[in-house]
Structure 1
Amino acid sequence: MIADPLLLSAVLIGVMFLFLLSSIWIGASLFLTGIFGMLIYDHHLPPAISIINKIGNLLAGSIYDSMNSWSLASLPMFILMGELLHYSSISNKLFNGLVPWLSSVPGRLLHINVAACSLFAAVSGSSAATTATVGKITLDELHKRGYSKSLALGSLAGSGTLGFLIPPSLIMIIYGVLADVSIGRLFIAGILPGLLLATSYSLYIMVVAFLDKGVVPASKEHFTWAQRAASLKELFPVLLLITVVIGSIYAGIATPTEAAALGVFFSILLALYFKSFSFAIFKIALANTIKTTVMISFIIAGAGFLSQVVGFLGIARAISEFIASMGLTPLMLVVVIAIMYIILGMMLDGISMVVMTLPIVLPIVTLAGFDALWFGIFLVFMVEMAQITPPVGFSLFVIQSISGEKIGFIIRATMPFFLIMVLITAMVTLFPEIVFYLPNRMIG
């Protein structure tokens, strides 16, 4: 039996790695880790039945709380939209339309994950939906055309997290409510850091492509400006779809969930128009959507249960209080808090990280002289890192489900993009004007 929450957190991380390495389902691994943590913690509850009842109540409550969310309704809709684009000719048109424009850029079509995720992030606000939808459209096409599998997977994992940074963002809304910070200012503050992160990903792809010619296909076509202009008709269907989905949200016509349903409807209309839709395709798309949605939902439920266990055992509070007692300089405080969130990201989902730690961490940070608006963007970066940090890197699991690759290969492919995210976080910390520039000029 273990009573120390800090020691217990280290044990749980080790146990989770063992479960994941044993090829047990990811969702099951999260549930089993939570149950193991409850069983080995010193509850001072003599009868074993009391612990079992506590686990049962926590399990039932956490599953209900995790899945009873209207925002989750958009997830299967966006996944279905991606499936329809994948199985119809529309995804091919997207690639064919981009080839002339990217043919002379180092890395060529490898930049499509960054561009598509940046655009889709402005639609969904969800990392899982962004990663799953874009991945369904791009991964197979990039593989068929002979692009580096590692760079394609890594750029998708890194770019998929932009759903939290580029508005609208669920994490920003939650933070704004809890920290009493203007959500409008948070949304605007996330634009420049988001564009900076996306640009850094593209620059990395360009450098790798310049140094290693094997990451892109050997053949290279040359296009005239007339051919580039003609290719716009290939891009028009996807641009129209994005305009419908994004426009309906920003015009106040539809919520993100309703916009996702609109996206599915217009995807079907476009597929019918290009004569690439059939009942067989629709049936396959529905079946794949159900599989992916159930997989993601199982992981969400498992992550929700583990988060509840971590809160019940006092792990997040113990780590936060330990940091507060260290008496660090402001810069060292930020470094230690970042390390704390990276560790918590191995066990918790992003929303749980924010909700469970903010009441303790925010007063410490503001007392050290940091602005609450800046810390909100910093916290979003920490949540993004959690999405691609093993063992509970949610985006890693989504990519594994749609690519069929081993999790170890995906983690190795993602590591350069994780390091880029760390670098941009450091830049935002050292140069906070990156965060304040747009809010101060657009809102004042």
Structure 2
Amino acid sequence: MLEWYSVIALVVGPLLVLMILGLPVAFSFLAVNIVGSYILLGGMSGVRQVVMNTIDSVSSFTLVPVALFMIMGEGMFQSRIAIDLMDTLDKWFGRLRGRLAFMAVGGGVLFSSLTGNSMGAIALLGSSLVPEMEKRGYKKPMTLGPILGSAGLAIMIPPSSLAVVLGVVAELSIGRILIGIIVPGLLMAVLYTLYIYVRVTLEPDLAPSFDVEPVPMSEKLHATAVNILPLGLVVFSVVGVIFLGWATPSEAAATGAFATLALAAMKRRLTWNVFSKSILGSANISVMVLLIVSGAVTFTQLLAFTGATFGMVDAIISLDIGPGAIVLTMLGAVIFLGMFMGPLPIMLITLPIFIPVILEFGFDPIWFAAMYLVAIETGSTSPPLGGALFVMKAVAPKGTTMNEIYRAATPFIICDLAAILILFFVPQLVTFPVEYMFR
């Protein structure tokens, strides 16, 4: 019988090598699962078990929200409802110093509550706001940074596809996670806003003021009534119905997708082209996610069947440091991995190891899940290879260097770290809304 660390080395090592070599994540998991099960679980009988586990994992009803949340996001972008939202925010911010940076944060929060797609939000905000910022004399820290930080809120504010995946892989209540991450997401937005305010106050040249045409209050109210208030119904159709106990997360995802398409139809933009692009875009991303999840769930079971998970838990618990320090070390490891890997592979490799430890220590797993998602978001914007950095590079003005993007992202990474520490020391920010709803 192999020791737990030998099993970890045999399965995790080749998995990382395959990913580094460029093999898609789903196929990396599949290859390791098949070979690992053949070696560790008794030949072909182990492989047959892998096949059965894979089928069971993707037939789970709890994964339905992934595809439906993707339809919401694609529908918002394809019908240009998101552009209307930015135009309305622009009218309200007026002559406020740093108004475009604040718009990036406000837009990030609203897009997050409507789409759950961080990379899409970076692409949209970057292509629409950065050129205008550059034209107005904004410096790189106030053009690239706010978009990188606020677009990542899509991970933290429902609907969040990553939160659904986390719930499936960690076997936690998806509804509780979606409610538990609302306050942490808003906390991050507040920290970003405070940073921008302080920075532009101390260094006005970063965001020069400029004259804008005054907008009559009647026009502002009309734009709000037409472009923002209807979005409140979309948000309510996802978060509100869960909070009130009217619907499960899967049902809420369905009502959210329907509300999004209905809003596009009300604006007379639900053409066949918009509808087909929304469905096809959602299908492409959803299939990729489901393939990865199926491989990861089987990978988790492989570690459990061989006893590696239990051996690692015992080893971690026996460390001569406090439980809190171990939790922070786990979150630090997630951020470090995020510098080199995408969010999904990190979740699928680490959660099978981390969640049993959290449960063994008696911590609230929803509290840990909220901090874990913040760490995932932090990792995705961290140099050198955070995925969000390269999306930003793709939409940034010509001549923007990766070094400038790294420097712009750093203050917002610090804000994320501050958010993790606040949640660590004040867990009630996560647990109270969940307990209030599910009492």
Q: How far apart, CA to CA, are the structure 1 residues paired with 2:74 and 2:219?
A: 30
Unaligned runs of 5+ in 2: 135-139
| Residue identity matched to 2:424 | T
Aligned to 1:290: 280
Find 1:17's aligned residue among 20, 27, 41: 20
Matched ranges for 1:307-346 at <5 A? 307-313=297-303, 317-339=310-332, 341-342=334-335
Q: How far apart, CA to CA, are the structure 1 residues paired with 2:281 and 2:182?
A: 33
Matched ranges for 1:402-417 at <5 A? 404=394, 412=406, 416-417=411-412
- TM value normalised by structure 1: 0.69
Mark the CA change 1:278 to 1:329 in structure 2 (over 3 Å): closer, same or farther.
closer
**SS of 1:163 mapped into structure 2:** coil
Find 2:193's aligned residue among 202, 210, 233: 202
Aligned to 1:22: none
Mark the CA change 1:283 to 1:318 in structure 2 (over 3 Å): closer, same or farther.
farther
Aligned to 1:266: 263
Mark the CA change 1:400 to 1:160 in structure 2 (over 3 Å): closer, same or farther.
farther
**SS of 2:319 mapped into structure 1:** coil
Unaligned runs of 5+ in 1: 20-27
Aligned to 2:130: 143
Q: How far apart, CA to CA, are the structure 2 residues paired with 1:278 and 1:264?
A: 7
Find 2:360's aligned residue among 345, 361, 364: 364
Aligned to 2:418: 423
In the alignment, does 2:232 pair up with 1:232? no
Aligned to 1:25: none
Q: How far apart, CA to CA, are the structure 1 residues paired with 2:293 and 2:434?
A: 34
In the alignment, does 2:375 pair up with 1:385? yes
CA displacement, residues 301-320 of structure 1 (integer Å, 9 cap, x when unaligned)? 23541453254145655543
Q: Answer whether contact 1:341 1:382 (CA < 8 A) is retained.
A: yes
The alpha carbon displacement at 1:196 in A equals: 1.6
Q: Answer whether contact 1:111 1:205 (CA < 8 A) is retained.
A: yes
| Residue identity matched to 2:256 | A
Aligned to 1:155: 149
Q: Answer whether contact 2:72 2:114 (CA < 8 A) is retained.
A: no
Aligned to 1:57: 51
Mark the CA change 1:109 to 1:264 in structure 2 (over 3 Å): closer, same or farther.
farther
Q: Answer whether contact 2:149 2:412 (CA < 8 A) is retained.
A: yes
| Residue identity matched to 2:357 | V
Q: How far apart, CA to CA, are the structure 1 residues paired with 2:37 and 2:8?
A: 10
Q: Which moved more, 1:198-207 or 1:421-430?
A: 198-207
Mark the CA change 1:15 to 1:150 in structure 2 (over 3 Å): closer, same or farther.
farther
Q: Answer whether contact 1:296 1:398 (CA < 8 A) is retained.
A: no
| Residue identity matched to 2:236 | G
Mark the CA change 1:109 to 1:211 in structure 2 (over 3 Å): closer, same or farther.
same
Mark the CA change 1:352 to 1:132 in structure 2 (over 3 Å): closer, same or farther.
same
Aligned to 2:137: none
Q: Answer whether contact 1:135 1:399 (CA < 8 A) is retained.
A: no
CA displacement, residues 46-81 of structure 1 (integer Å, 9 cap, x when unaligned)? 99x849946972795377347983213313421332
Q: How far apart, CA to CA, are the structure 2 residues paired with 1:104 and 1:35?
A: 55
Q: Answer whether contact 2:101 2:146 (CA < 8 A) is retained.
A: yes
CA displacement, residues 198-255 of structure 1 (integer Å, 9 cap, x when unaligned)? 1112233445555777865x6622566x735532322322223212213344254872
The alpha carbon displacement at 1:103 in A equals: 3.9
Q: How far apart, CA to CA, are the structure 2 residues paired with 1:418 and 1:51?
A: 47
Find 2:184's aligned residue among 153, 178, 193: 193
**SS of 1:255 mapped into structure 2:** helix
In the alignment, does 2:60 pair up with 1:71? no
Q: How far apart, CA to CA, are the structure 2 residues paired with 1:79 and 1:311?
A: 32
CA displacement, residues 390-432 of structure 1 (integer Å, 9 cap, x when unaligned)? 69x9xx76896898569x9599465654442222111222344
Q: Which moved more, 1:204-213 or 1:153-162?
A: 204-213
Q: Answer whether contact 1:34 1:306 (CA < 8 A) is retained.
A: yes
Q: Which moved more, 1:328-337 or 1:249-258?
A: 249-258
Identity across the alignment (%): 15
Q: How far apart, CA to CA, are the structure 2 residues paired with 1:219 and 1:211?
A: 14
Q: How far apart, CA to CA, are the structure 2 residues paired with 1:158 and 1:213?
A: 26
Q: How far apart, CA to CA, are the structure 2 residues paired with 1:71 and 1:285?
A: 18
Q: Answer whether contact 1:350 1:383 (CA < 8 A) is retained.
A: no
**SS of 1:326 mapped into structure 2:** coil
| Residue identity matched to 1:199 | V
Matched ranges for 1:159-170 at <5 A? 159-163=153-157, 170=164
Q: How far apart, CA to CA, are the structure 2 residues paired with 1:318 and 1:106?
A: 56
Mark the CA change 1:377 to 1:308 in structure 2 (over 3 Å): closer, same or farther.
same
- TM value normalised by structure 2: 0.70
Q: Answer whether contact 2:235 2:256 (CA < 8 A) is retained.
A: yes
Q: How far apart, CA to CA, are the structure 2 residues paired with 1:359 and 1:68?
A: 19
Q: Answer whether contact 1:66 1:304 (CA < 8 A) is retained.
A: no
Q: Answer whether contact 2:112 2:158 (CA < 8 A) is retained.
A: yes
Q: What's the C-alpha RMSD, in Å, of the aligned pairs? A: 5.1
Q: How far apart, CA to CA, are the structure 2 residues paired with 1:190 and 1:105?
A: 30
| Residue identity matched to 1:255 | A
Q: Answer whether contact 2:105 2:192 (CA < 8 A) is retained.
A: yes
